[in-house]
Amino acid sequence: MITDTFTIISQEELSPDIFQMVLYAPQMAQEALPGQFVDIYCSSKDKLLPRPISLFDADPAEGTLSLNYAVVGKGPEEISSKAEGDNIRVTGPLGHGFP
């Protein structure tokens, strides 16, 4: 498990309130397994708990993690406002993956 700040490579709205975020996180991409998730921390002081988001894809060769998520609530709304080049604090991979 890793906790660090990673750079957002892309943030795209796939459909209304459904986003895909791609992070440059080489070590995490190497360790990630299907079925795992990450915790994303918001920068607002009133949102102390991280938001769990399932891993959509991990590309160890590129060092990237892809996360698809729905904007439901203030935490994901804040996360969706992040843009390419922004940094975001992430812990993961978490959970029991499978081969």
Class of domain 2-94 (CATH, top level): mainly beta
In order of 43, 44, 96, 98, 99, the CA distances from 11 in angstroms are 17, 19, 26, 27, 28
- Per-residue pLDDT at 48: 81
- Per-residue pLDDT at 64: 98
- Report domain extents, the chain: 2-94
pLDDT (tens digit per residue) in 12-71: 999 999 999 999 999 999 999 999 999 999 987 777 899 999 999 999 999 999 999 999
For residue 33, how many other CB atoms are within 10 A of its CB? 13
**Model's pTM, two decimal places?**
0.93
- Per-residue pLDDT at 99: 82
